[in-house]
Amino acid sequence: MKHLLILVQFQLSLVSYVFSQNLLENLQIGGNFQSDSYYYLRDSTIESAEASEKLLSNNYLFLTISTTNLNLDIRYESFQNPIIGYDPRFQGSGIAYRSISYKNDWFNLTAGNFYEQFGSGMVLRGYEERNLGLDNSFDGIKVTIEPLSGIIIKGIIGKQRFFWSQSKSIVRGVDANLELSTIFPNFFESISFVIGGSVVSRYQPDLDSKYRLPENVLAYATRFDITTSWLSLSTEFAFKYNDPTTRNKYTYNNGIGINTDISLFTSGFSVSLGFHHYDNIEFRTDREAKGLELHLNYLPSLTKQHIYSLPAFYAASTQANGETGFKGEVNYTIPPNTILKDDFETNIAFGFSRINSIDTQRIDDFTYKSKFFGIGPELFYRDYYIELRRKLSRPLELKLAYIDLIYNKDVMENEGSPLFGKVKSKTFATEIIYSFNKTHTLRIEFQHMWSKNDSTAANDDKKNGNWFAFLAEHSITPHWYFSIVDQWNYGNVNKNYRVHYLKFLITYAQKTTRLSLGFGREAGGVVCLGGVCRFVPISYGVSMSITTSF
């Protein structure tokens, strides 16, 4: 009864508050549109993906109407049918996202769909990543208050998007972010110090006839960030109570996650180090969820996302059931007219990373013993790289890179079952950028990758062995971009797969509108963004893309 009274009081005060404002003040309408289509052609040499529809198309239209205090967001999506590699359950059209929010200087209320992230996302992050076909928006209520400058408290309740329906569970969460340096400016001069904490709980009924499952699963996280003129340190610790799921094979262990990044920088020189340890910390809004469905938390990845296309075949995806790793990177800029006697600076970067399994020992079918920060014997990923960038003359810039990596393909792509073994690859890449004048620029890239699988079982993996890649891109700013890409798997152990993946791409841009047309073969593989990965099939055909914003 007491709760009800408080709620009624809250609603009455809100209504009177809202209508005392002019709601249509500063009316603005904006939005964006994106359309990606692919026309599939048959190519038996590469056994390309085929669609009986021939043409598949993903489309998104986002519209936002805002005034000083009110905001209305709506997104229409149409997948007819989803492009191969995106989950087929996206098939269909409709309003995938709609929300209305009210805000003033200290209070913000959203009803409907919303995205949210607590801290680095280790206990809660609802986000959209179209390149992955991932949309974990919430549908419910979000309240954000800022009672004092430097204090932000957020509360949410809702269900997550599951293609065209919703998760079976309800998520409740609260997050507090305290900028101590703003609240107590006298104590923190020229230093930014922020602490934060979040609590998230998921309710999913236990309908399982075999296991006794926790219906309310609670997770919490604490964090702090320190930033000065020469140092940046951020760390977050997350804990999750027992959450047996199909993905963790019904383990009743609690979960732990810790993620730390530290950077030191002076003019022209910086060092950054990172460490993370994840043990059974995956959090989803359904115990049975798999793939990219219903991720409630986000586990930041550790390794560098290599920009060159060949080493990017082997990007590490985060293993939430257990991984531990560290990384480091040093950047140094040699100023002009010092070692090299010319007017151009030289940038050098060197980095490394290593990810292993965690050290565990099984106690029984339901639990295991895990050493805190214990490093297990299995290597998941390791790389080291050196990158060099410098101008040779005013119009000519040169980039060189060497990347040496080991990628445990069984763990990353086959749920740990032995099949491919580990991939050892070394890549050398050169990039030359030449600006003819203010409008014409040519970029040429060569890459060579030596690569070997230590596969135990015989297999006809379509991507293995050595590769060569070439890219040429001519841009005529601001309107035209032409590019040609060839990736040649000349060292595949299977002679039938020693093929060129050749592709042409033309892009026309006019203000905020961009049209692209591509034709050729796509080598496919795993596309990863921040440690979250999607499998992309080998394909051959015509790609069309339109993006515009207004």
Contacts to another protein by CB under 8 A: 3, 6-7, 9-10, 13, 17, 106-107, 143, 145, 147, 153, 155, 157, 172, 174, 201, 203, 208-218, 241-242, 244, 249-250, 252, 365-366, 414, 417-419, 456-460
In this complex, which beta carbon is closest to another protein, that of residue 249 or of residue 511? Answer: 249
Q: How far is the CB of 443 from another protein (least distance, A)?
A: 37
In this complex, which beta carbon is closest to another protein, that of residue 246 or of residue 337? Answer: 246
**115 neighbors 109 (Cβ within 8 angstroms):** no
In this complex, which beta carbon is closest to another protein, that of residue 218 or of residue 264? Answer: 218
**Cα–Cα distance for residue pair 118/97, rounded to 1 Å:** 21
In this complex, which beta carbon is closest to another protein, that of residue 176 or of residue 472? Answer: 176
In this complex, which beta carbon is closest to another protein, that of residue 520 or of residue 525? Answer: 525
Q: How far is the CB of 10 from another protein (least distance, A)?
A: 5
Q: How far is the CB of 200 from another protein (least distance, A)?
A: 10
In this complex, which beta carbon is closest to another protein, that of residue 221 or of residue 302? Answer: 221
Contact partners, residue 427, CB within 8 Å, separation at least 6: 306, 308, 310, 311, 401, 402, 403, 404, 405, 447, 448, 449, 450
In this complex, which beta carbon is closest to another protein, that of residue 210 or of residue 394? Answer: 210
Q: How far is the CB of 314 from another protein (least distance, A)?
A: 18
In this complex, which beta carbon is closest to another protein, that of residue 143 or of residue 502? Answer: 143
**159 neighbors 114 (Cβ within 8 angstroms):** no
Nearest Cα to Cα of residue 107 among 138, 152, 158: 152
Q: How far is the CB of 239 from another protein (least distance, A)?
A: 11
**Cα–Cα distance for residue pair 433/389, rounded to 1 Å:** 11
In this complex, which beta carbon is closest to another protein, that of residue 106 or of residue 504? Answer: 106
**Cα–Cα distance for residue pair 60/93, rounded to 1 Å:** 10
In this complex, which beta carbon is closest to another protein, that of residue 208 or of residue 342? Answer: 208
In this complex, which beta carbon is closest to another protein, that of residue 106 or of residue 332? Answer: 106
Backbone angles phi and psi of 5, in degrees to 5? -60, -45
Q: How far is the CB of 246 from another protein (least distance, A)?
A: 8
In this complex, which beta carbon is closest to another protein, that of residue 180 or of residue 200? Answer: 200
**331 neighbors 348 (Cβ within 8 angstroms):** yes
Q: What is the per-residue burial (b if ≥16 Cβ within 10 Å, else e) of 355-365?
A: bbbbbbeeeee
Q: How far is the CB of 51 from another protein (least distance, A)?
A: 20
Hunting for tokens 């967001």 — which residue is that? 73
Hunting for tokens 């002679």 — which residue is that? 495
**Cα–Cα distance for residue pair 426/415, rounded to 1 Å:** 24
Return the bridge partners of 447, or none: 429, 469
In this complex, which beta carbon is closest to another protein, that of residue 243 or of residue 445? Answer: 243
In this complex, which beta carbon is closest to another protein, that of residue 25 or of residue 208? Answer: 208
Q: How far is the CB of 16 from another protein (least distance, A)?
A: 11
Q: How far is the CB of 301 from another protein (least distance, A)?
A: 25
Q: How far is the CB of 5 from another protein (least distance, A)?
A: 11
**Cα–Cα distance for residue pair 520/486, rounded to 1 Å:** 10
Instruction: Give CA torsion, residues 178, 182, 184, 186, to 10 deg.
Output: 150
Q: What are the DSSP calls for 222-238, one per residue? A: EEEEEE-SSEEEEEEEE
DSSP SS3 for 511: coil
Q: How far is CA 141 from CA 62, 113, 129, in A?
A: 20, 8, 22
**Cα–Cα distance for residue pair 426/449, rounded to 1 Å:** 5
Contact partners, residue 319, CB within 8 Å, separation at least 6: 278, 355, 357, 380, 411
Q: How far is the CB of 171 from another protein (least distance, A)?
A: 10
Q: How far is CA 214 from CA 43, 96, 238, 367, in A?
A: 50, 30, 19, 15
* Joined tokens for residue 205: 């009924």
Q: How far is the CB of 482 from another protein (least distance, A)?
A: 38
**Cα–Cα distance for residue pair 471/443, rounded to 1 Å:** 8
Nearest Cα to Cα of residue 375 among 356, 390, 393: 356
CA 52 to chain centre: 31
